[in-house]
Each structure stands twice: as C-alpha cells, then as structure tokens.
Structure 1
Amino acid sequence: MARLERALALFMVVAWRIARLMRLGRTCPDLDAGLLFERDEWRAAFILNKKKPPKTSPRLNEVVRLVAMLGGFLARKGDGEPGVKTIWQGLQRVVDFAAGLRYARELDD
C-alpha cells in the first residue's frame, strides 16, 4: 500500500503544478515565466517550437501556450486558452528536453 500512496502523492504534485500553470497563465498572463519555470524549461519550450529563446525570461502566458502547443494545442484564433491535458502532454516533452540541455551543459564542462 505504501507504493500506491507514494505514487498518488507524486501524481497530486504534478496535477497541482499543471493546474496552477493553467490558472496563472489565464489570470496573470504577464507574470515572469521564471517564477514558475526553470530557465532550461522555458528555453526548451522555445527550442522545441523552433523559436529563438529570448535572452530574458518571457511572459508566463507565452510559455504556457508554447508548452501546450507541444501537447497538441493548435493556438488558433478561436481556440481560447490551453487546457490541462495539452499542458500536461507538452510539459512532459519540455521536462525531458530541459534535462537533456542540463546534461549537454555538464558534458561541455
């Protein structure tokens, strides 16, 4: 039973982060993305979308939309804001890519 409890606790933390990103991306779109994303994470969102990452931390809503686009959000004019599922799927790719960026940087050192 302890393994199940640990898994549920981990899933709750992940779900909380995704729900928080979705809500803050909608209600406070001009927040600094560096408050909720590590530098490598927001840079990964830009790189995976084939966009040049800015030198300074971008706005939160911009990064949330880029992450959601990696999860299948189409970002068309009438689509509204991204939901939990597309943010979750995109965040999986971003986190993996950010880990690769950190590992590549360690190899260079």
Structure 2
Amino acid sequence: MITLKSIIAFKLMHMTKMAALCPEATCTDVLSKIEWQTLYCRIQTTSRLPEHPPTVLQAITWLGQLGGFLNRRAEGLPGIMSLWRGYEILQENVRLFIILNNKNCG
C-alpha cells in the first residue's frame, strides 16, 4: 500500500512542478488520455471533448477543484491535499467513464 501511495504522491508532486515550470505544456505529459478526458468532461459538465488537450495549469487547477480548491484569484496553485482528494475522485470518475463508454455492455 505504501508503494502504491508513494507512486501517486510522486505523480502529484511532478504535476505541481510541471504547473510551476511549464504551465503551457499539454496535460498529456502528466495525465493519461482517459484521465484528462474524464477530468475535462467532469469539470465542464459536457460530453464533447476539445480538439486539443488542456494545459498542465488548467488540468492541475481542475484537479484541485475536484478536491475542494476554490480557485480564488489570490490563492495560486492548489495544495497537495486538494490534489490528492481530487485525484482520488478523478480515478473513481475514470472507472465510471470506462464503464459508460464500453461498447460491449448490454
């Protein structure tokens, strides 16, 4: 369990560093295709995906919002606890996204 949680913690720390150093890079550097698509659909409340993936800064802000980050102007980037909570919620949504988009059901 510690090993699994350490991998997730490293991924979140990497995302935070990427958002600070390269905010305009695409989020595909830190999130898988299904993760960013699910995150986009959840935050934008739409089923239509954009032509291009969002930036790392947008993705980390959205992930923080899932975890309770309020995204006020003076707050800066979300903290690691907001990202952790948001990432756990995102993983639940990814599972649901996969189930709902599975063409073999029913």
TM-score, normalised to structure 2, is 0.86
- Higher-Rg member (1/2): 1
Structure-1 separation of matches of 2:77 and 2:5: 23
- Give the conservation status (yes or no) of the 8 Å contact 2:67–2:83: yes
Between the aligned residues of both structures, percent identity stands at 19
Alignment counterpart, residue 38 of structure 1, candidates 32, 40, 49: 32
Unaligned runs of 5+ in 2: none
Instruction: Kindly tell me the number of residue pairs found equivalent between the two proteins.
Output: 102
Q: Distance in 1 between matches of 2:59 and 2:80?
A: 14
Q: Take 2:53 and 2:43, find their aligned partners in 1: how far apart are those partners?
A: 16
**CA distance, structure 1, for counterparts of residue 51 and residue 93 of structure 2:** 18
Preserved contact between residue 14 and residue 30 of structure 2 (Cα < 8 Å): no
Q: How big is the shift at 1:105?
A: 1.9
What is the CA–CA distance in structure 2 between the aligned matches of 1:79 and 1:46, rounded to whole Å? 22
Shift >4 Å, 4+ stretches: none
| TM-score normalised by the chain length of structure 1 | 0.84
